Amino acid sequence: MPAHDASDRPDVDLVVIGGGVNGSGVARDAALRGLRVALFERNDIAFGASGNSSGMIHGGPRYLTYDPDVTHTSCLDSGHIQRIAPHLLFRIPFLVPIHASRLTARAALTGYDAFFDLYDKYQALKHGKPHVRLTPDELRQLEPGLVSDAVGGVTFDEWGIDGARLCIGNVVDALEHGAKVHVHTTVTEVLRRDDGSVTGVRYRDRLSGATGSVHCKLVVNATGAWAPLTSVLAGLEPKVARIRPGKGIHVFLDRRLTNYAVVATAIDGRQVFLLPWQNTSVLGTTDDDYYGDLDDVIATGDEVRYLTQAIERVFPAVKRARAIGTWGGVRPTLYAWGRNEDKLSREHEVVDHAQHGADGLYSMIGGKLASYRIFAEEMTDVVARRLGFTAPSKTHVSPLPGGDETIDPLALTEGGRIDPMAAVRLEYRHGSRALRVMERIAKNPREARVVCECEPVLEAEVRYVVEHELASSVEDVSRRTRLGLGSCGGMRCAARCGAIIAQIKERSPESGRRDALRFVEWTRKRRLAAVGPEQARQEALALAHLRAEIGDEPGEGEP
């Protein structure tokens, strides 16, 4: 145990480990209540499950049969998120076609109808529309690409969100309320006194190698699937923060194939979906026990084929669609032995490690994107009460950055100088803060140039997220702006983005190129499992082009 005892003058009240949605939610809530907070994230904000989820704050009708409390909490909190970040939400109406191939098709349709009657009771909480039962004709009219053997179907209503933007919003608000946020900085040890109580953390900046320590009164382990690893850093057994890690992957396509999300049944009876999401379509998701490296979660060809095969049965054109990438994350579900992954609880709980001899250390276990805010509030209640802060949580009413007012994206186009699509996407990501990005362009019109054509992303936004949202690499920028995640796979934008970051950070142009190549390699690794006939040619072209443009062996580009 460390010799020093800094309990008299801690640097901060609270250290939060983990920059996912739970950690950034706690950092924000605590900062809003006046606590001095430091947050440490080993990789980037939203690097894990939060930035790689299905991109919905759904009520989880799936949980209704065995975990109705989760449905209620999710729907209620989904409503709160709409209030604090209206710009980040978009409606996703779902279709559940019932196929005649099922022997009990008509009974199933009636069953679904009744089931969604029940779910409708929760819809009002999240401003969702009640379900509708559809005839086969209506179904075909809504989505002509569906196979035509359905006896009918039902609709239900959910909300989509960009999980990474949600985390960034929380982090930026925490920063603006005095929190210190360290990204790419891993906690190497949770410091404890002789009596076992925590007194701070030691950390290492993974980019610069710099080390240091911060003293605090309490520590929250909000590291999701990493939680058992984090408890080891405090000298505890991994099992004290045990989770059941469930890998889920998604495949995304180069365009929106449908206007409605379509539910399908996979070969093993699980429900999967095809989802119109931002400017792509997304196939999801899997749920499998995961034993691999949490810092490098990659979809496999088998997982991609499992999803494609399932969606193809209801929407055959998906086989010919162009898959341009995958993402994968690991759910930190509550631990249970001997239960099927799908049946694991999406409940969440706070573990007080005083029972394990580490007073002042708490772990957040479980949870889901839709209920992050209430989970963060519950966690912050515990630490605030203990530290004598009596202010209640304001996170359900206080807007996230950019969520304070609604602006018209087309007013941002400056009489046609800015592409309307770029303006709409900018407003989606930043809400009213899109105006701050536009102020940059007013000062320096050159920043109106487009860096990423696929999304699209303007130079001003790249500079904005580097200067105000803690991005320091092309990958970080892509997480905040979706730069380089379109159909060209970063072929056109990565090098320029790397050069811009290098310039802002006063790094060498060579390091900017290495950054760009790392990013291209990173997206390629996540794309290869899904490369089919339609993408193969683009893939070969991108390989050749990148080699011609920046080379493919970093550091050897100069004579």
Partner 1 sequence: MKVVVVGAGVAGTAAAWAARRAGAEVALVHDRAGASALASGAADWDRWQAAAGQHPLEADAVALASALGYSTDPCLVCTASGVLRPAQGRDRAVLDLTLLAGRRIGVADLARDDWDAELIARALSSSAWARTTETRFAPRALALSDVQHASSWDLAARFDDPGEREKLAAELVKGRGEVDAWLCGPWLGTAAGAHEALSQRVELPLGEALSPPGGAAGARFESARDALLEQAGIETRREAVSEVVVGSGRIDVHLAGGERWGADRLVLALGGVAAGGVRLDEARARFELSLGAPVTLQVDGLSTDAVSTLHGVDFAAHGPALLEQVGIATVGAAALGTPSVFVAGDVMADRPRTWLRALVTGLHAGRAAGG
- Contact characters 303-322, partner 1, x per CB under 8 A: --x-------------xx--
DSSP state of 56: B
| Run of H or E residues at 93 | strand 89-99
Per CB under 8 A, does 549 bind partner 1? yes
| Positions in 319-378 near partner 1 (CB under 8 A) | 319-320
Q: Is 321 left (phi over 0), alpha (psi -120 to 50) or beta?
A: beta
Per CB under 8 A, does 21 bind partner 1? no
Per CB under 8 A, does 495 bind partner 1? yes
- Residue 141 beta carbon to partner 1: minimum distance, rounded to whole angstroms: 29
Single out the residue of 37, 450, 486, 459 nearest to residue 467, CA to CA. Answer: 459
Strand partners, 362: 220, 352
Q: Phi and psi at residue 534, in whole multiples of 5°? A: -75, -25
Per CB under 8 A, does 544 bind partner 1? yes
Per CB under 8 A, does 504 bind partner 1? no
Per CB under 8 A, does 103 bind partner 1? no
- Closest to partner 1 by CB, 65 vs 503, is 503
Antiparallel, parallel or unpaired: β 185-192 and 348-352? unpaired
- Closest to partner 1 by CB, 195 vs 558, is 558
Per CB under 8 A, does 91 bind partner 1? no
One DSSP character per residue, 278-322 reads TTEEEEE---EE--S-TTS----HHHHHHHHHHHHTT-GGGGGS-
Give Cβ neighbours of residue 91 (< 8 Å, ≥ 6 apart).
Answer: 157, 158, 159, 160
* Cβ-contact 474, 519 below 8 angstroms: yes
Answer for which of 317, 354, 421, 536 binds partner 1 (CB under 8 A) is 536
| Cα–Cα distance for residue pair 272/200, rounded to 1 Å | 43
Per CB under 8 A, does 539 bind partner 1? yes
- Closest to partner 1 by CB, 199 vs 308, is 308
- Residue 445 beta carbon to partner 1: minimum distance, rounded to whole angstroms: 8
Q: Which long-range contacts (CB under 8 A, 24 or more apart) does 287-292 make?
A: 287/246, 287/247, 287/248, 287/331, 287/341, 287/342, 288/246, 288/247, 288/341, 289/244, 289/245, 289/246, 289/247, 289/341, 290/225, 290/245, 290/246, 290/247, 290/330, 291/245, 292/247
Expressed in angstroms, the distance from the first to the final Cα of the chain is 52
Per CB under 8 A, does 282 bind partner 1? no
Per CB under 8 A, does 528 bind partner 1? yes
Per CB under 8 A, does 415 bind partner 1? no
- Residue 459 beta carbon to partner 1: minimum distance, rounded to whole angstroms: 8
- Residue 549 beta carbon to partner 1: minimum distance, rounded to whole angstroms: 5
- Residue 559 beta carbon to partner 1: minimum distance, rounded to whole angstroms: 5
- Residue 271 beta carbon to partner 1: minimum distance, rounded to whole angstroms: 22
Answer for which of 266, 298, 334, 424 binds partner 1 (CB under 8 A) is 298
Answer for which of 4, 339, 505, 545 binds partner 1 (CB under 8 A) is 545
Residue the block writes with tokens 């010799």:
3
| Positions in 144-203 near partner 1 (CB under 8 A) | none
- Residue 486 beta carbon to partner 1: minimum distance, rounded to whole angstroms: 15
Q: What is the CA radius of gyration of the chain?
A: 24
Binding stretches for partner 1 (CB under 8 A): 298-301, 305, 319-320, 445-446, 449-451, 453, 492, 495-496, 499-500, 503, 508-510, 512-513, 516, 524-525, 528-529, 531-533, 536-537, 539-541, 543-545, 547-553, 556-559
